[in-house]
A and B are shown apart, each in its own frame.
Chain A
Amino acid sequence: MDDSTLTQQQKLKYYQKGTFTVGNRLVADEERSVQASAERSNALTSGHRACQGCGEALGARYAIDAAMRATGNDLIAVNATGCLEVFTTPYPETSWQLPWLHSLFGNAAAVATGVAAAMRVKGKKTRVVAQGGDGGTTDIGFQCLSGMFERNDDVLYICYDNEGYMNTGVQRSSATPPAARTATTPALGPEPGNVFGTGKFVPKIAVAHGIPYVATATVADLRDLEAKVIKAMGITGARYIQINVPCPLGWGAPSYDTIKLARLAVECGLYPIFEAEHGRITQSRKIRRQVPVRDYLILQKRYAHLFRNGVDDPRVQRLQAICDAHIEEYGLLGDDAEA
């Protein structure tokens, strides 16, 4: 991997050595984050009904603001059914500051294809973003998503991955990690929580479609998220970004831990952050200090059954093995700052 695929924004390192401080003030105006600008579109404005600390709300605002900036606000959003759709548009109110269409749970990718086709035929430059939760993306919307990828339609699809069907009360999706408790994978029986050896990681499947751009991102690194969205909007064709967005309600964690959990998910190796172009992985976000997965799990009630009576369940080690394998597979260890 070389850094020739990185944009200027991505090359900037904001972490001051030894701290996690991010400083916009250290860089030139044009390199500052979208959110730091008074001109930001505030695509998802206040007053919506998301829970406190909702990672999805945060991720969506950053992502869509960045996409709007990249397109000069010439953007249309298509939304799948899910928390994001429900909490932003309680009739007759809406939080969206851009043209926005919700059709169904499983068809956002195809609806976006239709919008893009309409823009093409009308000779307009307006771009299209489709967005949905992990359920609407990796499960029920997967066929439409794959079709959109395969046709290389000019759509950026953003998946807000909170690892479960949150809007319907926290059920298992194919993005729910092993051992996690959900309403349909209860912490009961000999193998409490979600079983091991199931599920799918759609970013890899997206890469296999050979589409121009695929990335994973996290609300723990919003600069990186913005940079990836801006990069994606500079590319024509099918693009996919999957953002890890902690859900305080579904994960059983305090609202103030959203960013911390997102960061730990990356730093333990469970959530690999990488980019791929045309079927080939080009970059991965390095982990400076790998944290034990235990540190991540123990903060969430959905994993409480792994730590009953002060004894760690052996499955903590199975999850650790998954993290280690990710680190190996994506080459995650190292220091970006020194690259």
Chain B
Amino acid sequence: MLKQMEGSHAVAEAIALCRPEVICAYPITPQTHIVEGVGELVKSGALENCEFINVESEFAALSVAIGASAAGARAYTATASQGLLFMAEAVYNAAGLGLPIVMTLGNRAIGAPINIWNDHSDAMSMRDAGWMQLFAENNQEAVDLHIIAFRLAEELSMPVMVCVDGFILTHAFERVDIPEQAQVDAFLPPYDPVQVLDPDNPASIGAMVGPEAFTEVRFLAHYKQRQALRLIPALSDDFAKIFGRASGGLLRAYRTEDAETIVVAMGSVVGTIKDVVDELRDEGQKIGVVTLVSYRPFPVEALRDILKTAKHVVVVEKSISVGLGGPLADNTDGVLRNLENRPRLHSAIAGLGGRPITRASLKRLFHDAAHAPWEGPFFLDLNERVVGREIHRVRKVRRSGSTAENILRQLALASHLPQE
């Protein structure tokens, strides 16, 4: 059914359609509306056979999900940013135990400095935890990916994180097609666990494993994610058959057929990038964009197939691995590594802590990639004057104070200064 609704509420309705049995969460912006939404559905009785548990921390939220999932229940939680870090130990644990929990991540920056706005630092912090990570481009996809996520998680017995850009998607009102219950039921069978705590069949789960078997356990986790590389496109086909629209998949290519420059990005920014691609195409630049839906598993072969004929690859990402550069750029570099005619890789860090990524800036960026290539990470729309002054000050003054506060002070002063 087509509805005009907030992204968070659309996700909440999608979750409810998946018939979760245990939901537990702890509030954090911008995830709050999602759990409030499912909470309402449970409390009102619209979502039956479901326990909604208000816990005292994110660590407990995911721990409750771990217990519920190991006991054979379909379990769901949601968080963002600091909350994901607070549950970090349980994030790795859920994956290590092979529990098919689904979690929504309302992507948000990580402090300090504390910042509630969107970027992908939180998802990146857990990229090696063993969860599959899917990124939604818009709210329709956010809805669809959750439905796919439960099926994917349960088929492989491995948790899935659905990443939905905070505010940009979670708080945006868009037209969304909410599927019918019968469609979801046809797509998603009841949870049939591969391991379960059962008094009739007692098993010990979570034993200590030493050097004699740890490598094999890890190898098999990796192997499972490699299997997901085949399963994700298959589920996407299945989804299309039942729901009548394409959604999910490993990645999507837009106008890349003859492209000399190909942009790689994830999440909601791809909408803006497509507009810029259209504009540049009109101006004669051969450019396209690849949207990565699946970041973990990382679709190395599928991405290589698209990028191998390009001259320039521009990675635009909302995260930084401090001391290295962009993690997505780094992963993309791995894709290109062994190509004979390697495209040149350009890395751009953009939209950190919610900074708007504008069409004008992207247009300049894509133009420069073809005409004035750069080395290392390029920080889109960095305020160089402010950064320069701070670097200078830190060099001169030993007790230079806190960087964040100094920059805010500079900006406050600058707003009273005449434009240069």
Contacts and interface: CB of A to CB of B under 8 A. Distances in A.
In the complex, which of the residues B67, B70, B72, B206 has the most CB atoms of chain A within 10 Å of its own CB atom?
Answer: B67
B197 A107 contact: no
Given A96-B204, A117-B51, A103 B71 contact: no
Nearest to B75: A114
Interface string B178-222: 000000000000000000011101111111111001000000000
Nearest to B206: A102
A110 B208 contact: no
B68 A118 contact: yes
Interface in A82-125: 85-86, 89-92, 94, 96-104, 106-107, 110-122
A176 B280 CA distance: 69
Interface stretch (B58-66, B323-331, B366-374): B58-66
A103 B22 contact: no
B60 A103 contact: no
Chain A interface main SS type: mixed
A143 B60 contact: yes
Contacts of B208: 85-86, 89-91
A110 B60 contact: yes
Given A114-B68, A122-B73, A144-B59, A101 B209 contact: no
B53 interface: yes
A113 to B, nearest CB: 5
A101 B67 contact: yes
B90 interface: yes
Contacts of A75: 199
A336 B55 CA distance: 41
A74 B200 CA distance: 8
A147 B56 CA distance: 6
A255 interface: no
A121 B50 contact: yes
A89 B59 CA distance: 24
Contact of A103 (B66, B201, B210): B66
A107 B60 contact: yes
B279 interface: no
A125 to B, nearest CB: 10
A55 B64 CA distance: 30
Given A76-B197, A118-B73, A110 B63 contact: yes
A151 B21 CA distance: 18
A96 B55 CA distance: 29
A89 B207 contact: yes
Nearest to A73: B199
Interface in A56-91: 73-76, 78-79, 85-86, 89-91
Contacts of A320: none
Nearest to B210: A91
Nearest to B87: A107
A313 interface: no
Given A103-B97, A111-B67, A117-B64, A147 B204 contact: no
A93 B70 CA distance: 19
Contact of A143 (B56, B67, B198, B206): B56
B54 interface: yes
B202 A97 contact: yes
A106 B62 CA distance: 12
A126 B201 CA distance: 13
A146 interface: yes
B338 to A, nearest CB: 37
A295 interface: no
B68 A117 contact: yes
Interface residues of A, number: 44
Interface in B8-23: 21-22
Contacts of A151: 53-55
A216 B203 CA distance: 29
Counting chain B CB atoms within 10 Å of each CB, which of A74, A90, A106, A114 scores highest? A114
Nearest to A116: B67
Interface in A227-283: none
B89 interface: yes
B57 interface: yes
A110 B87 CA distance: 12
A114 B205 contact: no
Interface in B97-139: 97
Given A118-B21, A118-B22, A98 B56 contact: no
A150 interface: yes
B81 interface: no
A274 B191 CA distance: 44
A121 B198 contact: no
Nearest to A98: B202
B93 interface: yes
B69 interface: yes
Contacts of A144: 56-57, 59-60, 63
A103 B199 contact: no
B24 interface: yes
B50 A114 contact: no
B197 A113 contact: no
A146 B198 CA distance: 27
A113 B21 contact: no
A292 to B, nearest CB: 42
Contact of A99 (B50, B59, B198): B198
Given A91-B207, A111-B64, A118-B73, A104 B24 contact: no
A94 B204 contact: yes
Contacts of B201: 99
A114 B70 CA distance: 9
A115 B59 contact: no
Interface in B205-242: 205-210, 213
Contacts of B68: 114-115, 117-118
Interface string B31-67: 0000000000000000001110111110111011111
| Residue of B22, B54, B65, B199 most packed against chain A (CB within 10 A) | B199
Interface of A: 73-76, 78-79, 85-86, 89-92, 94, 96-104, 106-107, 110-122, 126, 143-144, 146-147, 150-151
14 contacts: A73-B199, A78-B67, A89-B206, A91-B207, A99-B199, A99-B204, A107-B90, A110-B59, A110-B67, A113-B64, A114-B71, A117-B67, A118-B69, A151-B55
Minimum-distance CB pairs A-B, first 5: A114-B67, A102-B206, A147-B56, A118-B71, A110-B63
